[in-house]
Amino acid sequence: MGRPRFKNLVSAVAVAAALGVAGAAVPAAAATLNMAWSQDATGLDPHKQTAFSSLRLLELVYEPLVRTDSELNIAPAIATSWEFSEDGRTLTFKLDPDAKFSNGDKVMPADVKASFERILNEETGASARANFLSIESIDTPDDGTVVFNLSQPDVPLLTAMSSINAAIVPASAIEAGTIGTETLGSGPFVLTSWEPNSREVLAANANWAGGEVGVDGINISVLPDETAILAALRTNQVDFALINDPLVATLVPNNPGLTLTREPVLNYHVLQLNADRGAMTEKKVRQAISCAIDRQDVLDAALLGEGKVTGPLTMPAYATDPSELFCYTPDLEKAKALMAEAGYEDGFSAKVMAATGEPPTAAAEAQVIQSQLGEIGIDLEIEMMELNVYIDRWLKGDFDMAVALNGGRTDPYTMYNRYWTKDGNLAHVAHYGDDTLDSLMQDGRVETDPAKRKEIFAEFSRHITEVSPWIWLYTGYSYTAANDKVSGFEANPTGSLFGLSAVTVSE
């Protein structure tokens, strides 16, 4: 728990104060941050792990070429600059000459090339591979340049490269096959020990090119029960914590000395309808469901109002005003009329599936939706199941309706091409597709003018909410809680904890 260090610090402060040295009264001496979260990483291979819980840890250890800043702009990481060619078919990166792995080895273009070749290799099983298929070849003309040659213009590629799933790992580690068992990254921290489901110890990486890290290290405790995390915060055993459950988060401000940070996230809560099944094959029935659901009411009842009603696009640069979308103002009369027009004036029965505890509010959401759809005669049965069982059925597309929390992306194409293009990998889960959606997605992919892209995706939002294969509900917040000793944390809408690199702990 860093006790000796704490004593040293106290004595250093005491000595400085005794000597009356001006300016030394508040030493910038780094300390260790004690932190807690409830879900631990499930593995260490940045190219294979996709769970939020794993990415949060790996983002502190590894770096991609570029990263997403707190305004959702692309910012430098290993690369200091990047440029698309005129025809949009080559993407050139200049690497930071100071970028080093934590063992002191320079990050070379060969490492970048090897990392992307590993992701593109089908044998790796990297799920992000689908985002990089336009890469035809990679050139490394000199020690500081990497050139990606593309088969077609691919604007969202840059966003995909900002994910930790595109982290740059040492070519030597790929060859040795140690990725996944040992960590060697170029990020702000070094993982010195990992005891799964118990704790992680991170030390500041002295070789980090991104600047000085504000703390000596981070001790992360895995406390599976979030009320225990709150208790640990109150008793100052933990300085900083990540909280998932909005119910626990809302209790934090009741405690003097604790601050809650809410950050709107890109992830969205959605009710997915199976447009291949029963009454829901009728557009009018799906529209009726959309009109019958009072999104704000679900948000208030299930999530204590902790969030914002959203359309399909959750990133601020592309989001449109939800009130302009189809039936975002609930209209029960219209819903009933639509049901009658479709020949279902007496309603029908269906099942909605939800994962236990993922998100923590899933059961509550399903219940509110159940009662709202009851108003138009839809008799909804709730099926709660363990997350892995849920995912298994979800991936097979085997459900009538599903309550889901889906991950958002900073680019609309990367976020939705898997669902709403005809050859998208998850098109069978989306259970709906039409030519309009398909061509809008393709147009948005190759369009380089930001203003025109925005128009294309606004049209996408309007169209998809009108045909209503899914009922987009709202986005929530990510929560961090900290005591007064902690300062300098900047939250990120992607849920990344990279902001911990700037945190300082005072005593």
Partner 1 sequence: MNYLTRRLVTFPVVMLGVSVLVFVSIRLVPGDAITAMLGTEAGLLTPAQRASLETYFGMDQSWFGQYWHWLGGVLHGNLGISVTYGRPVMEVILRVFPLTLELALLSMVVALAVGLPAGIYAATHAEKPSDLIVRIVAMVGQSTPSFVVALLAIYALSVWFGVLPAMGTFTPLWQDPLKNLAQMILPALTLGFAFAAAVTRISRSAMLDILSDDYIRTARAKGVPARSVIWHHALPNALIPVVTVSGVEFGYLLGGAVIVEQVFALPGLGRTVLEAILQRDYALVQGSVLFIAFNFMIVNLLVDLAYAALDPRIRLGGK
d(CA 479, CA 112): 33
Considering only residues 81 to 110 of the shown chain, the ones binding partner 1 according to CB under 8 A are none
Q: Which of 393, 462, 463, 485 binds partner 1 (CB under 8 A)?
A: 393
Q: Which of 139, 276, 379, 392 binds partner 1 (CB under 8 A)?
A: 392
CB contact at 8 A, 235 and 360: no
125: number of Cβ within 10 Å:
10
50 binds partner 1 (CB under 8 A): yes
Checking phi first, is residue 165 left (phi over 0); if not, alpha (psi -120 to 50) or beta?
alpha
Residues in contact with partner 1, total (CB under 8 A)? 53
CB within 8 Å of 77: residues ≥ 6 apart: 63, 64, 65, 66, 67, 162, 210
Smallest separation, CB 421 to partner 1 (Å): 13
Question: Of the two residues 139 and 225, which places its CB atom closer to partner 1 in the complex?
Answer: 225
CA angle 73, 154, 185 (to 5 degrees): 55
Q: Which of 10, 14, 17, 51 binds partner 1 (CB under 8 A)?
A: 51
Smallest separation, CB 235 to partner 1 (Å): 4
Buried b (16+ CB within 10 A) or exposed e, 127-164: ebbebbebbeebebeeebebbbebeebbbbbbbbbbbb
Q: Which of 106, 199, 262, 351 binds partner 1 (CB under 8 A)?
A: 199
d(CA 413, CA 415): 5
Considering only residues 219 to 248 of the shown chain, the ones binding partner 1 according to CB under 8 A are 219, 221-225, 227-228, 231-232, 234-235, 237
Tally the C-alpha atoms within 13 A of residue 478's C-alpha that lie toward its C-beta.
20
Give the residues across from 382 on adjacent strands. 352
Smallest separation, CB 194 to partner 1 (Å): 9
388 binds partner 1 (CB under 8 A): yes
Smallest separation, CB 288 to partner 1 (Å): 27
48 binds partner 1 (CB under 8 A): yes
Considering only residues 300 to 329 of the shown chain, the ones binding partner 1 according to CB under 8 A are none
Which residue in this structure is represented by tokens 């980090």?
208
Question: Of the two residues 235 and 323, which places its CB atom closer to partner 1 in the complex?
Answer: 235
Which residues of this chain interact with partner 1, rule CB under 8 A?
A: 1, 36, 42-44, 48-51, 122-130, 180-181, 195-199, 219, 221-225, 227-228, 231-232, 234-235, 237, 386-389, 391-395, 406-407, 418, 425-426, 429
